[in-house]
Amino acid sequence: MVGGSHDFDLLAVGLQEAPGNKVATMLSTALDETHTLIGKVTMQSLQLFLFGPKNAESFIQELKVDKQSIGGCGGIIGRKKGAVAIRINYKGIRLMFISCHLSAHGYNVEERNAECRHISHTLFSKIWNPYSRPSHVTIWLGDLNYRLQGIDTYPARNLIDKDLHYVIKSSFMC
């Protein structure tokens, strides 16, 4: 792990509203000693990068990318929302990584739920054989725009304020 001693095989980085293509170069430089970029997909400001160990090619049986826009006129009008995804069969484990950006505002919960369903049903639908087996693991990354609601959101906010380093560190140890 960058800045730590924990080893990992795959590292997925999903970005939303990210500028330009310099991110892949910066990440590749930071991981250069141990990892290489094995998958990349972008759609305007949505980006997804997948890094694996230097010898990853020998463990990859399949790697596909796809993207799905949502919103007015397929996302052409207004801000681009939607998802980009990488599906990989790595060491016999079928994984799917999805980086998405869903509709904003607290009152759009049903719209976001519908967008998640739409993304789930349409990603890779043109590429995959309908009889192919589903992923063992699907990981969603992104600006989901769901909100903490209720009277008492302070415990979650206090945990983040008190020890954000611990929260980040423990999430990498999973």
44 burial type by CB count under 10 A (0-12 exposed, 13-18 middle, 19+ buried):
middle
- CATH number at 56 reads 3.60.10.10
Question: In whole angstroms, what separates CA 105 from the centre of its chain?
Answer: 21
Picking from 30, 39, 85, the residue whose alpha carbon sits closest to that of residue 59 is 39
Enclosing domain of residue 133: 11-172
130 belongs to a structural domain: yes
* pLDDT at site 158: 75
pTM above 0.85, yes or no: no
Q: Within 10 Å of residue 170's Cβ, how many Cβ atoms? A: 10
How many distinct structural domains can be found in the chain?
1
Strands 46-53 and 60-70 turn out to be unpaired
89 belongs to a structural domain: yes
Distance spanning both ends of the chain, measured CA to CA: 12
5 belongs to a structural domain: no
109 belongs to a structural domain: yes
6 belongs to a structural domain: no
110 belongs to a structural domain: yes
pLDDT digit of tens for each residue in the chain (174 aa)? Answer: 344 444 678 999 999 988 776 888 888 889 888 899 999 999 988 999 999 998 888 899 889 999 998 875 544 555 568 999 999 999 999 999 999 999 888 778 888 889 988 998 888 887 655 556 788 999 999 988 877 666 666 776 777 777 666 655 554 443
2 belongs to a structural domain: no
